[in-house]
Amino acid sequence: MNVAARSPLVITDNRSFREHMAVLGYGDKVIGLLNIKPTEEVLFLDLVERGVILFPSALAQQLSRSKCLQAMIFKEWMVPHTFVARDRHDLVQGITFYGKQGVKSVVTKQNRLNCGLGIHIWSSIEDVYNQACFGSLGYPFVVQPFVESVTDVRVVIIGDYVEAYWRRNPYTLRNNLYFGGVSGEYRLTDEELSLCRRVMDRGKFPYAHIDLMISPAGVFLSEINLRGGLKGAKISTKEYHERIAALEVAFVDQGP
């Protein structure tokens, strides 16, 4: 197909994306989250290089898939001294640096696990190194100092809709509501909302689920995703999907 001789395509489902992927070109639009497997993620780069317009952006979709990429892109908003361990060399460097900083307990986040399933707390980074060396912890993963007295806050932003709620489980580090946590409404400060907006702008997120860590040491980004559970949120599933659909329609209607 001669891309230059046809009208721009608008793809709104994964089946159509697969059917037309080879002919997509400059100005074509792909709307919605792509069901691209981890081994295929280079396709995001290919689409961007061809001038295909994605909504949400290719960057946002990639960031949603990888906690390690988030730790690299959003490092300035995360707990100080957060880093990505790609191999033993990174961990050995981290051991020396954390020792100089007096960091004791640490938290690790496995790259592609959600719902708190990939979060682990360790008494020291040496323990992390031992487990990784003996194959119990696969690279890459995120490492950061453990922060005391944290309030876990989930923020849902869709266009001009914003809501936030705290999540808590007194019996575990993981505050996921599906594993016994409780929640309540949280009123964001201007500073906290500004942090969320800056993170979304940096990652080109048109909407997001953002997890903040509110602590005496400061306000930090925990992670961000394009999709997440709504347990604890006031917005209904129906309204949630309607608001995202409205953003998608508006994006298509705005033209090139």
pLDDT tens digit sequence for 146-196: 999 899 999 999 999 999 999 887 766 665 645 556 789 999 999 999 999
**pLDDT (average), residues 101-118:** 88
Domain check: are 185 and 230 in the same one?
yes
Strands 151-158 and 161-168: antiparallel
Whether the bond into 170 is cis, omega within 30 of 0: no
- Where residue 97 sits, what CATH number does that domain have? 3.30.1490.20
Domain check: are 85 and 49 in the same one?
no
Please report how the helices 42-49 and 58-65 are oriented relative to each other, as an axis angle in degrees rounded to 10: 170
Domain check: are 181 and 236 in the same one?
yes
How far apart are the C-alpha atoms of 228 and 33, rounded to whole Å? 13
Domain check: are 194 and 247 in the same one?
yes
**pLDDT (average), residues 100-112:** 94
Other beta carbons within 10 angstroms of residue 233's beta carbon come to 20
Domain check: are 8 and 84 in the same one?
no
For the chain, the domain total comes to 3
Residue 65 lies in a domain: no
Domain check: are 113 and 31 in the same one?
no
Residue 75 lies in a domain: no
CA distances, 208 to each of 9, 183, 192, 233 (Å): 26, 19, 15, 13
Confidence of residue 75 (pLDDT cuts 50, 70, 90): very high
In 3D, which of 71, 204, 202 has the Cα closest to residue 145? 71
> What pairs with residue 144 in β-bridges?
107
Domain check: are 169 and 125 in the same one?
no
Domain check: are 157 and 140 in the same one?
no
pLDDT tens sequence across 24-71:
999 999 999 999 998 999 999 999 999 999 999 999 999 999 999 999
Residue 46 lies in a domain: yes
Of the candidates 145, 177, 199, which is a domain's last residue?
145
Domain check: are 138 and 157 in the same one?
no
Domain check: are 129 and 174 in the same one?
no
Residue 72 lies in a domain: no
Residue 207 lies in a domain: yes
Domain check: are 205 and 172 in the same one?
yes
**Contact 108/119 with Cβ under 8 angstroms?**
yes
Residue 100 lies in a domain: yes
- Where residue 181 sits, what CATH number does that domain have? 3.30.470.20
* Percentage of residues in the chain having pLDDT higher than 70: 93
Residue 113 lies in a domain: yes
Of the candidates 129, 145, 161, which is a domain's last residue?
145
Other beta carbons within 10 angstroms of residue 31's beta carbon come to 20
Residue 161's SS3 state is: strand
Domain check: are 124 and 189 in the same one?
no
> What pairs with residue 223 in β-bridges?
211
* Percentage of residues in the chain having pLDDT higher than 90: 82
Of the candidates 145, 172, 188, which is a domain's last residue?
145
Helix (H) or strand (E) holding 192: helix 190-203
Q: Does residue 74 surpass a pLDDT of 90? A: yes
Domain that holds residue 84: 80-145
**Contact 210/155 with Cβ under 8 angstroms?**
yes
Residue 137 lies in a domain: yes
Tokens coding 185:
């409404």
**Contact 196/157 with Cβ under 8 angstroms?**
yes
pLDDT of 236: 96
